[in-house]
A and B are shown apart, each in its own frame.
Chain A
Amino acid sequence: MTIYDLTLAELRDLLDRRELSAVEVTTAYLERIAETNPKLNSFITVCAETAKAEAEAADRAMAAGETKPLTGLPIAAKDIFNTAGVLTTCGSRILGNYTSPYDATAIARIKAQKAVIVGKLNMDEFAMGSSNENSAFGAVRNPWELSHVPGGSSGGSAACVAASQAAAALGTDTGGSIRQPAAYCSVVGLKPTYGRVSRFGVVAYASSLDQVGPITRDVRDCALMLQAIAGYDPADSTSVDTPAPDYQTGLTRDLKGLRIGLPQEYFIDGLDDDVRRAVEQATTTCRNLGAEIIDVSLPHTTYAVACYYLIATAEASSNLARYDGVRYGLRADQAANLIDMYMQSRAAGFGPEVKRRIMLGTYALSSGYYDAYYLKAQKVRTLIRQDFLDAFEKVDVLLTPVAPTPAFALGEKVNDPLQMYLSDIYTIPVNLAGTCAMSLPCGFSADGLPIGLQLIGKPFDEAAILSTAYAFEQATTWHQRKPQL
């Protein structure tokens, strides 16, 4: 038994039976990180000292009979989560020296269960990217093929879980940033319904689309993590005051009576042959498990990427106005006056993709263009959301690819922003609709690169996609494969 290859549920069992201590588990993971991180660059900060102290506290809590589901389990977080006393860079030079004075709610909730936070994970700067190549702290490499990207923007989170550097990770998903890297790295990732998990303390990118979610080894662990972070938070006025159900008890092994929809617009030209085959095979598996497969239509799919890049950049240009070099973050020293200090600080602190999106968003919101771009996109968003609501009149869950291709090579798309944006074509509509979806392993390409399956659920019906995913996972072995590092 290798400690760092165990799931959260398996570790929980061994901790509960006193066969392992939290200190032993944490030590094993910290050694694994030290050994593998030079190859992957998935961590920006490793919290070695505080993790050991948290593990000791977890062992004391378990000895005192105060065990909670995540007590003593090693978890890492995307560097977008404010974490008290720890560097929180958001992958940007402008926050390169920012040590947060407070915890994001998602961090506070896993800390309240005495989970052990082993470190902060690399990401595309301000979560803007699909390859993790936009980080000010260097690209992350895909554990399955080091010359390839891990996906983005939560590339560090997916690579970390795939490479057994933490038992689970927290990520965020604005247009696919949990699901696409989960697919590229053969791990499980879930984007909850907008409002299901608090965004308080998560560095904002596009506030009407951002959502926090888990990345894990398997579906049971995903349910465990979602349970810990889901629920109303008065500090996030968009979090929804609806109690989260018990996600564990809903996990069953058959799909009898379940109606699964295949959106025809997702199986089009440009979909890689290996991905198509794997997703078709997954459909057959679900049918064999008792599900009814139904063709459905999401007619406005083709407009989603255009709609997203107006709404997300507009919101980003507004959110990122706060980085002005006054209260925290990088300040340019050579400025002539206050305005020049803002302009020079932002020029020095932001990378090219962030500048591109701030510029596009500012343009789309500027006088004379607001109606033509931003308002138009918000209207198209209504149509895209309605597509999903109509489809969910006929089916319980939608089944699609996560991305049109497996992971691409480092450098392949970095100079073509539009091509990079199109790698999110199957994930973006879900954020625009505000509903929930997850990615789970469903095969490998001829070249040995992971392929992901996307399950999309009705708003606030995370339980349905988790139970569908669990049944699929029990019937397949893809999630048991591990990369050789």
Chain B
Amino acid sequence: MKITHADVEHVSRLARLALSEQEIDSLTCEMDAILDYVDQLNSLDTEGIVPTAHAVPMENAFRADEVKPGFTPEQALSNAPDAAENAFRVRRVIE
């Protein structure tokens, strides 16, 4: 096995994704099969090959630092699950 039940549990915390025991079990099998498949990349010698992050070579795109119209507070909050006083409201962050 390339990946264990405990690994999947650990990754689910990194991904901020709550999983049931059953989901962890099936993901362990599925991810193991996929990782086994992607292992074929190791048969390629990539020594000295420059990695490609973007297919079209480009430099950083800068723009002038100018104030432009954006969302109004009402627009920005229009989909908020919970809002108060022109802000997104969440549970207490610091206990």
Contacting pair B14 A342 (CB below 8 A): no
- Residue tally, chain B, CB below 8 Å to A: 52
Of A194, A347, A379, A417, most B-chain CB atoms within 10 Å: A379
Known: A98-B79, A359-B11, A378-B51. A306 touches B93 (CB 8 A): no
Contacting pair B44 A238 (CB below 8 A): no
- CB-based nearest B residue for A341: B91
User: Other than the known A339-B16, A363-B31, what 15 A-B pairs have Cβ atoms closer than 8 Å?
Assistant: A195-B56, A237-B60, A240-B58, A302-B40, A306-B40, A342-B16, A344-B18, A346-B16, A346-B17, A355-B23, A376-B42, A379-B52, A418-B33, A433-B55, A434-B56
- CB-based nearest B residue for A321: B16
Q: Looking at chain A, what size class is its interface with the partner chain?
A: 35 or more
Nearest-neighbour CB distance to chain B for A329, whole angstroms, equals 7
Contacting pair A326 B41 (CB below 8 A): no
Nearest-neighbour CB distance to chain A for B38, whole angstroms, equals 4
Within 8 A of B (CB), among A110-158: none
Contact string against B for A residues 340-368, beta-carbon threshold 8 Å, 1 for contact and 0 otherwise:
11111011001000011011101100100
Q: Is the interface of B mostly helix, strand, loop or mixed?
A: loop
Contacting pair B91 A366 (CB below 8 A): no
Option from A194, A302, A362, A378 in Cβ contact (under 8 Å) with B15: A362
Nearest-neighbour CB distance to chain A for B87, whole angstroms, equals 10
> For the complex, what is the distance from the CA of A312 to the CA of B62, rounded to whole Å?
26
Contacts of A195 on B, CB cut-off 8 Å? Answer: 56, 58
Option from A305, A343, A418 in Cβ contact (under 8 Å) with B17: A343
The 3 A-B residue pairs with the shortest CB-CB distance in the complex, in nearest-first order: A434-B55, A378-B51, A328-B79
A179 at interface, CB cutoff 8 A: no
Nearest-neighbour CB distance to chain A for B95, whole angstroms, equals 8
Q: Is the interface of A mostly helix, strand, loop or mixed?
A: helix
Contacts of A302 on B, CB cut-off 8 Å? Answer: 40
Option from B50, B58, B95 in Cβ contact (under 8 Å) with A382: B50
Known: A360-B34, A417-B34. A376 touches B46 (CB 8 A): yes
Nearest-neighbour CB distance to chain B for A404, whole angstroms, equals 16
Contacts of B88 on A, CB cut-off 8 Å? Answer: 326-327
Option from A97, A102, A321, A382 in Cβ contact (under 8 Å) with B52: A382
Contacts of A97 on B, CB cut-off 8 Å? Answer: 79
> For the complex, what is the distance from the CA of A302 to the CA of B41, rounded to whole Å?
10
Of B3, B27, B90, B95, most A-chain CB atoms within 10 Å: B90
Known: A331-B81, A331-B82, A366-B11. A359 touches B55 (CB 8 A): no
Nearest-neighbour CB distance to chain A for B77, whole angstroms, equals 8
Contacts of B11 on A, CB cut-off 8 Å? Answer: 359, 362-363, 366
Contacts of B31 on A, CB cut-off 8 Å? Answer: 356, 359-360, 363
A38 at interface, CB cutoff 8 A: no
Contacts of A373 on B, CB cut-off 8 Å? Answer: 38
Known: A328-B79, A359-B15. A238 touches B51 (CB 8 A): no
Contacts of A327 on B, CB cut-off 8 Å? Answer: 76, 79-80, 88
